[in-house]
Amino acid sequence: MRLITDMKDKRITLSHGAGGKLMHNLIEEIFKRHFSNPLLDIFDDSSVFSSLPEKEICFTTDSYTVQPIFFPGGDIGKLSICGTVNDLSVCGAKPFYISVSFIIEEGFEIEKLERIVISMKKAAEEADVKIITGDTKVVEKGKADKIFINTSGVGFKKRSLLLGRDFIKEEDVIIINGNIGEHGLAVIKERKGLEFDVEIESDCAPLNKMIEEIIESGAKIKFMRDPTRGGIATTLNEIVEGKNFGIILYEEKIPIGENVKSLCEILGFDPLYIANEGKVIIVAERKDADKILNKMRKNKYGRKAEIIGEVVGKPEGKVLLKTEIGSTRIIDMPTGEMFPRIC
């Protein structure tokens, strides 16, 4: 692969964002070259595609400000594709089209920009989505932190697939596809330069294929959500909020690596509140739990899938954790300071 070291400029200047020749070169040399596909029209500001009959359209957006921009298991580019792919997937849609918009700090190394772009390209290929439109802005040195990326996404959902918190009922099960806490801890460890002898990688991954397989299996899914910022504790609280049901979690069933356990002990974190970027929480009918677990465990992103809890009638609107020693405690929505810039 020809790398951009061919380009005369090694760093982003304000002119790269000013709409003139340098910006056009950047678009041609970095964005168009790596993101190339028949629909891509970064130059033409917007892109046109056909809709599918009998489908609804899903639309989502996310800005990524993760710091540091490179971390074990991923970087801001991979994250920006996977995050938006997963947001569409958990609403039941097959993700198709992605827009990318960069805000770049003056002086940012073009070599790093290209590494990020290549990483986006790879993630988009794995997820089988097309980057079809984009935008670049450059701000003065000190007015942004290296690079921020927004991705928005469009996907198509079968009309017949009805998902929503309203469908959730007592005795439904809560399923997750694997170990929790890895993304947040990998980022924090890298950011703080912690030298503990514990290996940890972000779980950042596109989950759309796995989720499509589960949907196609015919399993009766009620609701899905990717437990990113605020971890599974926050996602589960969002699920029960204002509803006439609660959730009980079984601590011993929650998949968690020894590395996450150790780091959380050392740092005093609760893994339930740590961000994931390759996890999905599925609420489903109990009778279909095995069908879902089977599909998950056959996929490389779901080998450690488990039923981690169930929906209960009381207490309403609360998430309870049943600990390994048999006691029960309430898992609240986080209030105070958590970890900024994890995604």
Query: Smallest distance from the beta carbon of 159 to its own copies, in angstroms?
Result: 8
Tell whether residue 133 is a contact of its own copies (CB under 8 A). yes
DSSP 60: E
Closest CA to 178 of 256, 233, 231, 258: 256
**N- to C-terminal Cα separation, the chain:** 28
Sole window of 149-157, 186-194, 256-264, 303-311 interacting with its own copies (rule: CB under 8 A): 149-157
Non-local (6+) Cβ contacts of 24 within 8 A are: 43
Residue number with CB closer to its own copies (3 or 18): 18
Query: Smallest distance from the beta carbon of 199 to its own copies, in angstroms?
Result: 26
Sole window of 136-144, 199-207, 289-297, 298-306 interacting with its own copies (rule: CB under 8 A): 136-144
Number of residues counted as binding its own copies (CB under 8 A): 77
Contact with its own copies (CB under 8 A) among 32, 137, 297, 322:
137
Query: Smallest distance from the beta carbon of 64 to its own copies, in angstroms?
Result: 8
Residue ranges in 305-334 that form contacts with its own copies under rule CB under 8 A: 333-334
The residue assigned the tokens 């009922």 is 169
Contact with its own copies (CB under 8 A) among 76, 138, 175, 180:
138
Contact with its own copies (CB under 8 A) among 73, 178, 181, 230:
230
Tell whether residue 144 is a contact of its own copies (CB under 8 A). yes
Alpha-carbon distance of 169 to 283, in angstroms, equals: 9
Residue ranges in 231-250 that form contacts with its own copies under rule CB under 8 A: 234, 238
Tell whether residue 285 is a contact of its own copies (CB under 8 A). no
Alpha-carbon distance of 271 to 265, in angstroms, equals: 9
Q: Is 135 helix (H, G, I), strand (E, B) or coil?
A: strand
Query: Smallest distance from the beta carbon of 244 to its own copies, in angstroms?
Result: 19
Closest CA to 215 of 117, 288, 302: 288
Cis, bond preceding 38 (omega within 30 deg of 0): no
Query: Smallest distance from the beta carbon of 285 to its own copies, in angstroms?
Result: 21
Alpha-carbon distance of 341 to 148, in angstroms, equals: 11
Tell whether residue 139 is a contact of its own copies (CB under 8 A). yes
Transcribe 160-182 into DSSP letters: T----GGG--TT-EEEE-S--SH
Residue ranges in 87-116 that form contacts with its own copies under rule CB under 8 A: 87-88, 90-91, 93, 97, 99-103
Query: Smallest distance from the beta carbon of 116 to its own copies, in angstroms?
Result: 16
Alpha-carbon distance of 56 to 63, in angstroms, equals: 24
Amino acid at 252: E
Residue ranges in 194-213 that form contacts with its own copies under rule CB under 8 A: none
Amino acid at 245: F
| Binding letters toward its own copies, positions 35-64, x by CB under 8 A | --------xxxxxxxxxxx-xxxxxxxxxx
Number of C-alpha atoms within 13 angstroms, CB side, residue 308?
25
Residue number with CB closer to its own copies (83 or 246): 83
Tell whether residue 85 is a contact of its own copies (CB under 8 A). no
